[in-house]
Every structure is written in structure tokens, then in C-alpha cells.
Homo-oligomer: A and B are copies of this chain.
Amino acid sequence: MIRVAICGGSGYTGGELLRILSKHPVVTITAVTSERSAGKSVVDLFPNLHKYSNLIYEPLHVEDILDRAELFFMALPHGESQGAVDFFFRNGKKVIDLSADYRFKDIKTYEEWYRVSHKFQRTLEKAVYGLPELYRKKIAKASLVANPGCYPTGAILGLYPVIKNKLIDVASIVIDSKSGTSGAGRKSDVEYSYCEVNEGFKAYAVVGHRHTPEMEQELSAIAGKAIKVNFTPHLAPFDRGILTTMYVRLIESVDTEKIIELYKKTYTNEPFVKVLDVGRFPNVKNLRGTNLCEIGLIVNIRTNTLIIITAIDNLVKGASGQAVHNMNIMMGFDEKTALDTAGLFP
């Protein structure tokens, strides 16, 4: 058994960590923090998690909880996570940070896009970007894992095989994402109230979304050269899921079958990536509650363009499920522990 603490456990990401970990046979949750909900029990905030009626939110005092866990999940807002992560890391703990604070190799990029200064460069240098399909070996040895953003997860997994194999013009990348509303978090904001979102559909943060540089960092690393992308997120009227439709110009003409073969080969040993057969495309509905990323592919031979469509559950593969996957790798557990579930349909 390992003891685990969750810092920032009152949002959707925190609730999802609790839900997933409730199925984990060798994990005990010893602390869960929330400033606003301190004193309340988990079941007060998440009536679906009735097993946790005895788990009480406490304010985050890093010294107080340091000795109560071997591993810390950090689900705090960007900027607020930095210091606590650094503290636990320096004290020899394993840390999985779900915020953006430790995702960027280049501290300037972080500071520019997030408009926060970063005070822990040394710790930042030790962080591993927690996308298991690309960095499994590093994650296994890491003490600090920066869990990827939801949009980058679906985009990078979709683009990795063709960039790696130099099949596309990397100056042509279009990433058009549609996200369920849980991606906005659990907060009081008229913009995300039911009657504003329901029956609506809109783009937001057009050109300026903060996940853009995160995608670019990872895609550039794969390509071995600087890549800039066109990324547009959209807010959609459903709870969970991100569907990402990508358009990339092929350097030479390749047929759909060959592309699918390449993707299947690339991800053949990956428990959480599923490449669909010719003519099949993913639907976020089938993935609710699962840690899967599904990928559908087709070449438009009239324009020599590859269309790549990926789908994930933003709260699972896009956040808490991937965090648990990272924990499993870091701790040497079977990777699928607590994550091997069928989606809830309908």
C-alpha cells in the first residue's frame, strides 16, 4: 500500500482522481485539501463518491501533510502549484502536478503565456512531461511529473507518428478541438452556466489559447525543429470529452491504409491508445470514464491532406486518468491498474 495525498481536491479534476483511485487496490488516500471547502467531507461536494464520507477537506499546509504521503497529486490552479510542488519535491516525495507549472522546458514561454513568474527553475529542470506514450522510461525514473494539458494530449498523440516519420509539412498543421464543458472547471461563472452553454457552440481563446505553446514544445521536440500550429478550441454542450480534428499536408501521397498501419504499429503496445480501422472515427460518447485515446484517420487524396481525429475523456486521459497512469509507471504497478474500465454508454 502507498499513501497518497491530493492537493486541490474539490474541483472536477480532484473529484475524478478520487473516483479513479477508489478502484486502486494498493493506494490509500490520506489527505485531500481545499481552501474553500475545508471542514466538509468529500461526499458533501461529490455525492457520487459516497465511500469517502470520512475523508474531510483540509486547508493546504505543506508541512502538515508532508509525512502523510509518499506521493502527491497536485490539482491546484496554475501559478498556485509551483511552491507546493517544489516543497514536496525537495523533501524527497514523488509529485504529479496536473497544473501547467512544470510543463515547459523554457521558463520564458511559461511566463509569457501564463503571465506568472516561475520561481523554481531548478525543480522545473527535473520535471518530466507526463505523456506515457512518449516518455514512459523517463517517467518511470522521475520524481516530478508534469501531467499534460487536456488539448495537448489528444493533439500530440494524433500527430506523433506522422511527424516522427517526417510524412507531413509541419508548417501546415491545423488543430481544431471541441471540448466538453467540464474542461472549464467547477466554478461559478455566468459564462459557464447552464442556459449559456446549452444549445450553444462557440470558439474561444481563438489564436491565444495557452495550450498552444505546450503543443508546439512537444511537436517541435518530435520533429527536431521548431513548429508552430493553428489551434482553435471550442466550447461544446456536453460534460466530458475532447474531439480534435487535425489537418496536415502530406509531403508525398500515401494512402489511408498505410497511414493506419503506421499508427497501429506505433501504438501497438500502448494500453490506452486505440487506432481505429479504415472508415471508423471516434465519438467522445464512447469514451466517458475511460483513459483511452481513440484515433481515426483518412487521407483526402483530392487535396493530399491527412485528416486525423482523436477523442479522449478530458477528465481522464486528459487529466486525472493520465495522472494515475503516471503514478502506476512511477511506482512500478501494472499500468492498467484502476484504469481498465469500459466507457459508460449511453
Residues of A within 8 A of B (CB): 12, 15, 19, 22-23, 46-51, 171-172, 174, 176, 178, 180-182, 186-190, 192-204, 206-207, 228-230, 232, 234, 236-241, 243, 245, 247, 274, 281-290, 292, 296, 298-300, 302-303, 305, 307, 309, 311, 341-346
Contact = CB atoms under 8 A, between A and B. Distances in A.
B346 A182 contact: yes
B283 A47 contact: yes
Contact of A195 (B174, B230, B232, B346): B346
A190 B190 contact: no
A46 B282 CA distance: 12
Contacts of A283: 47, 200-202
A239 B309 contact: no
Contact of A346 (B49, B240, B247): B240
Q: Name the residue in A180, A204, A344 with the highest tally of chain B Cβ atoms < 10 Å from its Cβ.
A: A344
B202 A193 contact: no
A177 to B, nearest CB: 10
A196 B344 CA distance: 12
A346 B239 contact: yes
B190 A188 contact: yes
